[in-house]
Amino acid sequence: MNRPAALAGLAAIALTALAAGYYFGRGAPAPEVRPARPASQVPGLRPVFTLADATGTPRSITEWDGRALVINFWATWCPPCRREIPLLNALQAEYAPRGFEVIGVAVDFRDDVVAYMQDTPIGYPVLIGEQDGLDAARAFGMETAGFPFTIFTDRGGRIVTVHVGELHRPEATLILSAVEDVSAGRLDMEAARARIRAGMASLKQQDTGAK
């Protein structure tokens, strides 16, 4: 894909990021805003996709079958995406021995991502895509979601929840605990999602109270 055409495609997601108050530094003309896809269109199972890593090697998401996944969609131009990286590094180090894998999916220009990774340590696999990255996002039902967003799956590839926006440690701990219980058979999916919803509401209330 040539660079101008790729820029127009990447702007489709970047526009919603702008609406959420995020910064998009490329100055591309904004496309028409489309309604977000309903939550019911997020698939029950993790879709299969293949993207190249930073070395240009194609990597299929099936490579990590049997592990609970934290799939983080991001871009180099997105400040909250960049802020998340130290947390994601910490989660990879802490949770990998417990059967989890963090995977970054950069929906961005390959040269920008590779250059960024030369200066910013990232301790988990990063896959890179332009139009194919957008296609991967859409496969998760996130066609117009702003960056960042993170998909959490159990070891069987079932999508437990999708977190839209910057991920923080309390949220990650809450979600990963529920995913771990689902993977171990201690919690069914409905109960896990209910626990996550209640926990997220409590965290939001605490945050509001602190302000």
Contact status, residue 105 vs residue 72, Cβ threshold 8 Å: yes
The domain limits of the chain are 3-22+43-165
Higher pLDDT, 3 or 25: 3
Name the fold adopted by 3-22+43-165: Glutaredoxin (3.40.30)
pLDDT the model gives residue 27: 39
The arithmetic mean of pLDDT across residues 129-157, rounded, is 90
Model pLDDT for residues 53-87, shown as the tens digit of each residue: 999 999 999 999 999 999 999 999 999 999 999 99
- Judge whether residue 19 has pLDDT over 90: no
204, β-bridge pairs:
none
Distance CA 137, CA 147 (A): 10
The arithmetic mean of pLDDT across residues 119-124, rounded, is 96
Contact status, residue 130 vs residue 110, Cβ threshold 8 Å: yes
Nearest to 73 by CA among 40, 51, 95: 51
For 3-12, 71-80, 111-120, 132-141, which range has the lowest pLDDT when averaged over its residues? 3-12
Q: Which amino acid is at 81?
A: C
pLDDT the model gives residue 211: 65
Q: Which amino acid is at 160?
A: V
Higher pLDDT, 167 or 36: 167
For the chain, give the mean pLDDT. Answer: 84
pLDDT the model gives residue 208: 76
